[in-house]
Amino acid sequence: MPENIPNSPLPANADATPASAHPEQLLSDVASLPALPGVYRYFDAQGNVLYVGKAINLKKRVSSYFQKNHGGTRIGHMVSKIARLETTVVRSEAEALLLENNLIKTLNPKYNILFRDDKSYPYLKITATGKAGSERFPRVAYYRGAVEKKHHYFGPYPSAWAVKEAILLMQKVFRLRTCEDSVFSNRTRPCLLYQIKRCSGPCVGHISPEAYAQDIADAERFLNGDAREVMTALEARMMMHADKLEFEQAAELRNQVAALSNVLHQQSVDNVSDRDVDILAVKVQGGRVCVNLAMVRGGRHLGDRPYFPVHVEDAAELVELDASEAAAGVRSVEMQVLDAFIAQHYLNVSAPPSLVVSVPVDKGLLQALCEQTGVKVSAVHNPREQRRVWLEMAQTNAALQLARLLAEEGSQQARTRALVEALDLAIDDLAALRIECFDISHTAGESTQASCVVFHDHKMQSAEYRRFKINDITPGDDYAAMRQVLLRRYGKLAETLADAKRTGELPAGTGRLPDLVLVDGGKGQVSMAREVFKQLGLDLSLIVGVEKGEGRRIGLEELVFADGRDKVYLGKDSAALMLVAQIRDEAHRFAITGMRAARAKVRMNGGQLEDIPGIGPKRRARLLQRFGGVRGVALASEADIAQVEGISHDLAAEIYRVLH
């Protein structure tokens, strides 16, 4: 819990930041901190989190920020903004590490190195064995989510592609089934996978449960890294069948041995003692950083995944200052980034026993990680033999991924600059340019949805996207829909800004208007947006419509302005038009996916039908199949509804009443 300790004087220091620069309560809280391990958070006057740090000695660590003169450094810039402090005392450095990185991920502080949360890693799943039906023949499948103890999971894998490659391998070598249980239980003849020798046909009895269980056991041993032992066992079984003159069975095993041998050759596994290893390579270039994570599981290299942290420049000096408290010495940016990645990444992902790293890792971090996970984790900085090969591959991939990112960002920044110049916007910091774009989507007036997508910092900000369900308008009236979404988006903000203009005070946490409001449409939509902005008292020059060109051909779009300026054609090859089209297309994609999801919910799930007593899944499915959706059911008469199998006249009357 945050600590608030009674006031006491802050020790004087000639080089310290003047006390008048910070609130008296803050200085009192700093002076009252205990000499215990913990985590601290700095906040600015608006309540935004500036920095999250951990300390072995909270009093010593936090006081150093206010007792030293940091000059014009990033640390000094951050310290000048601190208005409030919160601390949490913990029992050990391992607890501090865990809490610190949980808070970093949750609060997204500006001055911390931050790795974005990715989706959970995918696994290869082999279902549990049972006594009845399909359970006697376990299935191999792609899986992402929480694991269940009864099934067997292998991984994690760095990508969905890597899992699918592994599943294909299970089909080629061990001929395991991949079909759903519902399909398996209703087969009367083998499918195409059996014909091309990717499945042993357990659904129609072409393999016994005992033989299939042996294939499952071999597959699991292979995935666990016992490939050579599996190969030896297969060869022994092949020779046994050959000795008994069972040549068909021997031939099947021979094919398995050949396929497995080919896989092992492709994997180039020379050192099977390394069962589970993560290889981490860091590359810094052009002000950006890439951490490339490669995974080895069961002795097989499964592929890699790049990560690009944010806030690296702002955080570098602060991380170095925190490290100096533990006498860790000066650490390079690469070391700081790698430490941050390990601390944040392995909070939610189990760490393998071995890490191969391109730069040294802080020993205290490894010790804390061991205490946290209960697994002894070691890191090798200068590997040899196969590990060196893996590290060189990871370093090459990190360099390639970073070069690709820099090329993309350079192109995107050029597009932003071109748009600012083309529209003569008063923007000094290109990264600060904020654009919001709106689009309307529906199907013949059904399930109307509006989207708002946001662009700033030279990229689309998906976390700030919003969808609006449009109600109480004439179906298909796009102008009314645009009016509603703009009022809902900017109505409260306009009131807040108007109040602030009268009182001279802007409430903390108030958002800001975008520098540009793009509307997917021509004069009609722009006129509607103009009316809304006049009603709200907002600047009309913000509104720009994207009008389709002749024949609605891509590249011929024109920009329409709400403040009376003439239309502008930027040119087919204009970088500015490319950016406008990118944002417009993203708004259209976001709107149409939302509309389709809402429409599918009504049509497929039955909408109001679910709430009618006596309508279960079967009757609902029959109604939707007969009439093509809820709208068709609503248009049908009582007599028509009563003709559906399982629907009585009384139930038909109730359905008609509810839908009308």
Question: 330-377 pLDDT, tens per residue?
Answer: 578 888 889 888 888 887 677 888 899 999 988 878 888 887 777 788
According to CATH, the topology of domain 19-107 is: GIY-YIG endonuclease (3.40.1440)
Domain regions of the chain by residue span: 19-107, 277-403, 430-601, 606-659
Give the model's pLDDT for residue 460: 92
Instruction: Count CB atoms within 10 A of the CB of residue 51.
Output: 26
- Residue 16 is predicted with a pLDDT of 43
The pLDDT score that the predictor gives to residue 601 is 61
Asked whether the whole model's pTM tops 0.85, one would answer no
Residue 197 has pLDDT above 90, yes or no: no
Cβ-proximal residues to 271 (8 Å cutoff; 6+ apart), any chain: 299, 385, 386, 387
Give the model's confidence band at 484: pLDDT under 50 very low, under 70 low, under 90 confident, else very high.
very high
What's the token pair of residue 609?
């039908």
Query: 116: which DSSP letter?
Result: P
Mean pLDDT of 421-433: 86
CA angle, 426 then 431 then 434, to 5°? 65
Same fold, 277-403 and 430-601: yes
CB neighbours (10 Å) of residue 449?
Answer: 24
pLDDT at 490: 93
Q: What residues contact 491, with CB distance under 8 A and at least 6 apart?
A: 536
pLDDT at 568: 86
More confident site: 19 or 25: 25
pLDDT category at 606 given cuts 50, 70, 90 is very low
Q: Which one-letter amino acid corresponds to residue 624?
A: L
Phi, psi of 186, deg, nearest 5: -115, 10
Residue type, 541: S
Sign of the C-alpha dihedral computed for residues 496, 497, 498 and 500 taken in this order: positive
Cα–Cα–Cα angle for 207, 210, 211, rounded to 5 degrees: 50
pLDDT, residue 599, reads 66
Give Rg (Cα) of the chain: 32
**Distance, CA of 242 to CA of 239 (rounded, Å):** 5
Which residue did the predictor score with more confidence, 538 or 121?
538
Is the pLDDT assigned to residue 428 strictly greater than 90? no
Is the pLDDT reported for residue 470 higher than 90? no
Report CA torsion sign: 115, 315, 431, 491. positive
Residues 6+ apart with CB under 8 A from 255: 197
Q: What is the pLDDT of residues 537-569, one digit of tens each?
A: 998 989 999 988 766 666 678 899 998 888 888
In this predicted structure, what is the pLDDT of residue 496?
Answer: 87
Indicate whether 264 pLDDT > 70: no
Residue 265 pLDDT > 60, yes or no? no
Compute the average pLDDT of residues 391-401: 91
Cβ contact 451:587 at 8 Å: yes
Rounded average pLDDT over 305-319: 73
pLDDT tens across 140-182, in order? 999 887 777 888 888 788 888 888 888 888 888 888 999 888 8
Q: CATH says 430-601 is which class?
A: alpha beta
Provide the CB-side half-sphere exposure for 7 (13 A, CA).
Answer: 6
Lowest mean pLDDT among 76-90, 241-255, 369-383: 241-255
pLDDT at 20 over 70: no
Q: Residue 495's CB: how many other CB atoms inside 10 A?
A: 12
To which H or E segment does residue 261 belong? helix 247-267
- The dihedral sign for the CA sequence 347, 350, 355, 357: negative
**Residue 18, pLDDT above cutoff 70:** no
Number of Cβ within a 10 Å radius of residue 114? 21
| Unique residue bearing structure tokens 């920009």 | 559
Residue 513 has pLDDT above 50, yes or no: yes
- CATH of region 606-659: 1.10.150.20
In this structure, what token pair is assigned to residue 11?
């020790």
Fold of 277-403: Nucleotidyltransferase; domain 5 (3.30.420)
**Average pLDDT in the chain:** 81
> Tell me, what's the pLDDT at 273?
60
pLDDT class for 12, splitting at 50, 70, 90? very low
Beta bridge partners of 294: 279, 304
Residue type at position 72: G
Own/partner contacts of 262-268, CB < 8 Å, gap of 24 or more, are: 263/169, 263/173, 263/227, 264/227, 264/228, 264/231, 267/299, 267/300, 267/301
